Amino acid sequence: MFKSFWKEFKAFSKQNWWVWLALPLMICLCLYYDKDGSGRINTEITVLTLHFIADILIMMMLTSYAIGDRVSVRNGTYYQIGSFVLFSSLKLHSGLVNCEWHYILGDPLYALAAILNYRTFVLMKKTPWINLKTMLPLLLVCLALSYLFFINHNEEGKKLIKFTQAIGIYSFAVTLSILDNPKLQTRFQLVALIFMVGGSLWEFIDSLNRIDNPVYGLEMSYIILPGTVLVFLLRNFKKPNTEVEEKVVV
């Protein structure tokens, strides 16, 4: 497993070398926007570094699923589970430290997507109760809960910003449950990432005018890192890949 991961990791790094420029850029931004000198900067750099690793796993997951053979999709499932564990830990940290609980409200969707892919590609079992039709109503429930949270915990100007970001974060989880139509899945992923990056960029610009609300690692990572995934998908969107069309879902 480790040899397979290392081989795929080197191939990914060679093909997507530009991704590695994002980490030092984010660290520089963190240092630049450390306005209060509270000592939080070390924690925030750790947070964005872990977020960066989780996003690398997401991109390796997408690459593995796109290849489509049995070994690749199995490894892609492990990357998906690894990224889910890292992201959930970071979202829990964000909730406990900054009361930003809306990030973790969409995790039931990510958990179900991970279960679906693990059962499908590792255990080779059918999971008919997790599909696009069941995930969409759950998405609406998660969005409704997040909106109620924003009403009670955010000032008027930030509600729409946060909700736009939440649409992207939660919707991306739903796209991972689309196993029988890779083209549709990729299109939905692009839309979800546009909402995620757009909402995060909107929040970043808004925070520049708020002296008491400096920008930190997790907030910036939701701009740059999903942005790298968006670029990654756009670069590979029109590439012909017959293996994807021949992938068999058990």
Please tell me the predicted confidence (pLDDT) of residue 102.
82
pLDDT digit string, tens, across residues 46-72: 888 888 888 889 988 988 888 888 888
Give CA–CA dist 62/235, Å, rounded.
Answer: 13
Please tell me the predicted confidence (pLDDT) of residue 248.
35
- Kindly tell me the number of DSSP H helices and DSSP E strands found in the chain: 10, 0
pTM: 0.84
Cβ count near 201 (within 10 Å): 17
230, pLDDT greater than 50: yes
Six token digits for residue 158 = 């930030």
Q: Residue 125 domain-assigned? A: yes
- Domain residue limits at 156: 2-245
Six token digits for residue 176 = 């991972």
Domain count, the chain: 1
Q: Residue 97 domain-assigned? A: yes
Q: Residue 49 domain-assigned? A: yes
250, pLDDT greater than 50: no
Nearest of 159, 168, 166 to residue 143 by alpha carbon = 166
Mean pLDDT in residue range 76-91: 93
Percent of the chain with pLDDT over 70: 83
Q: Residue 223 domain-assigned? A: yes
Candidate ranges 45-54, 70-79, 156-165, 230-239; pick with highest mean pLDDT: 70-79
* Residue type (1 letter), 29: L
Q: Residue 17 domain-assigned? A: yes
Q: Which element (helix H / strand E) includes 15? A: helix 2-15
Q: Residue 250 domain-assigned? A: no
**Which of residues 84 and 241 earns the better pLDDT score?**
84
239, pLDDT greater than 80: no
